[in-house]
Structure 1
Amino acid sequence: MKIILPVAGKGTRLRPHTHTKAKSLVHVAGKTVLEHIIGRLAPLVASEYIFITDENSAQIEGFMKEKFPQIPCRYTVQKQRLGPAHAVALAAPFIEKGDDVLVVFNDTIFVADLTAIPRLCADADGLIYSKEVEDYQRFGVNVVNDGYITGMVEKPDTPISRLAQVGLYYLKDGRGFMDYLERTIAAGETVKGEYYLPPVFMRMIRDGLRFRAPEIDAWLDCGKPETLLETNRYLLRGRHHVHGEAINTVLVEPVHIAAGAKVRNCILGPNVSIAPGCVIAESIIRDSIVNVDSEVRDLVLHSTILGDSVRLIGAPQRMNIGDHSLIEMEGA
């Protein structure tokens, strides 16, 4: 198996956190998004990981060499932003006859048993992983009949299906999939100037190939600040870890304090991730992510994401308040 990871993209919905780093290197629950994804791919026996990158290629390559030196990786740059199908097609020179392929997009962290792929795909040509959602109008959905996908609808107005595509695809014949990608691109099948995967899959289905739509257990969006915080809450469940210093501090589980972080005279939690090198003092923080080498003092924070090397210094308030007073100090 070869695993294709398209990690290009500006990550505009996550700005300012993606101004200086690739979106897959944003932290959540004590790890980068990419670390969470690679960890979920570990049970698979892959001969090569193929990264489709952009101008942040050096960041991705350096990260993989540091964190996962044992994984054989290849990198190719998407110089033109022509959509996800175009990005995946850039892996074509490295996919040989007999290769099966797993495509993993990096806006989401998935929870699924990938060791079940051989069983799920025993009588099919591929798997387009899905998740049933209520807000189906926001997604491309799979229409399934008798266990196989018969159609795909982008952002349907009516609930023809609630099985949203989650950006995780398995193809039994990787070389054949690349040929279909190249044919679709040659035919100019674009939406607003970009190439997407559903037209490729529909071309394959019309030619008689069969796809199943297995549901994943959880679909954790990392594409926006608010959903990143939701994912942080989900991933921290049952993972109360204190590897750094926590002196004279109350921890409301779950909290992740990385090795090398120092916390003094604080109340942290629930759902707080503190990265290595951070100094947190005289503060109250909940539902937040504090990234590497940041400093927070004398503040009350909630629903907050702090990037790398941020210094956020507040000040205690001094008040002289008489009887029967009402003081409301509301934050954002």
Structure 2
Amino acid sequence: MKALIPAAGLGTRLRPLTYTRPKPVLRVAGQPIIVHALHTLREAGITEVGIVVSDITREAIEHATHDVQGVQITLINQQQQLGLGHAVLMAREWIGQDDFCVYLGDNLFESGAMPFVEQFQRERPSALIALVEVPDPTAFGVAQLDGSRITQLVEKPKIPPSNLAVAGLYCFTPEIFSILEGMPPSARGEYEITDGIQGLIEQGRTVTGQSVVGWWKDTGRPADLLDANRLLLERVEADVQGEVVESRITGRVVVPASARVVRSKIVGPVILGEDVVIEDAYIGPFTSIGRGTVVRGAEVEHSVIDEEACIENVSQRLQDCLVGVRAQVRGGRTVPRTHSLTISDGSLVELA
């Protein structure tokens, strides 16, 4: 069984972070989102993965995934972003006659992909769809069930037939290609995978739904990235190898051998990347800090700080922040307060 990860778009809802990088390479809990997806697929026994890219995402995706072990990756080009159904159709030659899983690379599942892959392989319906109950299903594809069989699937309905939203994981036999090939675009001009699945249903094929066990996270907005970082850091185990001088480390904290912590306090769960320097600082729970970043004379918690960033002399606590690659946050000694920042790669913010 193969897997397909669509990663051709930038992700406009995550601007300004995605002005310079595509969404799947943004980091949570120390790794790009797409790397978490690849690990999830590998754990489900899938070792051949196609990643659908565009000219603007190819280089970043290739860089983010080049050292992932245990998975054979093929990049598949999609010149125009015309919907998920179109992305799947672009991979038809690579998939061939194999069954395959479509895993949206910006989604995270507590239980991973394995329960869905195993169920699909046991029963082998024409399609198996991951479903999750949501309070407002109008922003999702929505399924109506008869037992475990899906009888209707509609995309972003104004009047939903149920509260069961399609999560970001689908398993298919190659039958889906015959539906997608002749399918017209939707009203918004895209080839919807939900329309393709509905086509299978209308032809009398078996399409089943399987509920997500545990949490599910779609990292489509900045707040979702922070929440995904928090959920993944809940799994962290303490591993302090780096230099720790006149500092206090409490809870589950990862300090790699090349990192330094000087005259600081860290309260886990926290992940520090390679060559990170923490000096005269406080790092609070649910914070991940990328390779080569310096935090000096500052307080940071519940945040994602990417690689080679610099946060210095900020008396205000930084909380719920997303700080991009090589971004800088500087400040002076002012009345203490809390700031929440989302700043893109290479930015400079001075708090005076």
Same fold per TM (> 0.5)? yes
Partner of 1:74: 74
* Matches for 1:181-192 after TM superposition, within 5 Å: 181-184=180-183, 188-192=184-188
- State the 1:118 CA deviation: 3.4
Q: Does the CA-based 8 Å contact 2:318-2:338 persist in structure 1? A: no
Matched with 1:38 is: 38
Cα distance in 1, alignment partners of residues 296 and 194 from structure 2: 50
Q: Which has the higher strand share?
A: 2
Q: In structure 2, what is the Cα distance between the partners aligned to 1:118 and 1:329?
A: 50
CA deviation profile, 1:119-157 (whole Å, cap 9, x unmatched): 355333321111111222322211111210001133345
The alignment partner of 1:61 has SS state of: helix
Q: Report the Cα offset of residue 14 of structure 1.
A: 1.0
Call closer, same or farther: CA 1:112–1:192 in 2, change over 3 Å.
same
Report the residue type matching 1:95 in the other structure: I
| Counterparts of residues 83-94 of structure 1 (less than 5 Å) | 83-94=83-94
In the other structure, the counterpart of 1:60 is 61
Query: Which residue number corresponds to residue 234 of structure 1?
Result: 231
CA contact (8 A) 1:3 1:103 kept: yes
Report percent identity of matched pairs.
Answer: 28
Give me the whole-angstrom Cα distance separating, in 2, the residues matched to 1:96 and 1:79.
Answer: 20
Aligned to 1:256: 271
The answer (yes or no) to whether the contact 1:189–1:199 under 8 Å persists in 2 is no
Q: Note the C-alpha offset of 1:49.
A: 1.4
Gaps of 5+ in 1: 318-326
What SS is found at the alignment partner of 2:211?
Answer: coil
The 2-side partners of 1:64 and 1:211 are apart by 32
| 216-225 vs 84-93, which moves further | 216-225
Mapped partners of 2:177, 2:142: distance in 1: 22
Hey, what's the Cα distance between the residues in 2 that align with 1:238 and 1:181?
Answer: 39
Match of 1:322 in 2: none
Aligned to 1:302: 319
Deviation track 1:192-250 (CA, whole Å, cap 9, x = no partner) reads 11111111111101111112211223211211111111111111114232222222211
Of 231-240 and 20-29, deviating more is 231-240
2:202 matches 1:206: yes
How far apart, CA to CA, are the structure 2 residues paired with 1:302 and 1:119? 41
Inter-partner Cα distance in structure 1 for 2:208 and 2:25: 31
Aligned equivalents of 1:236, 1:127: Cα separation in 2: 30
Conserved 8 A contact 2:42-2:70: no
Q: How many Å separate the matches in 1 of 2:6 and 2:134?
A: 24
Residues 37, 110 of structure 1: 8 Å contact kept: no
DSSP 3-state at the match of 1:283: strand
Q: Distance in 1 between matches of 2:90 and 2:21?
A: 22
Distance 1:284 1:161 in 2: 45
Q: Larger radius of gyration, structure 1 or 2?
A: 1
Determine if the alignment matches structure 1 residue 154 to structure 2 residue 155: yes
Q: 1:119 to 1:76 in 2, by over 3 A?
A: closer
Structure 1 SS opposite 2:43: coil
Unaligned 5+ segments in structure 2 are: 237-251, 341-352
Instruction: Measure, in 2, the Cα distance between the counterparts of 1:190 and 1:260.
Output: 49
* Residues 121 and 127, structure 1, Cα contact 8 Å, conserved in 2: no
> Relative to structure 1, is the Cα distance of residues 118 and 182 closer, same or farther in structure 2, using a 3 angstrom cutoff?
same
Corresponding residue for 2:219?
Answer: 222
Q: CA RMSD in A?
A: 2.0
Aligned to 1:287: 302
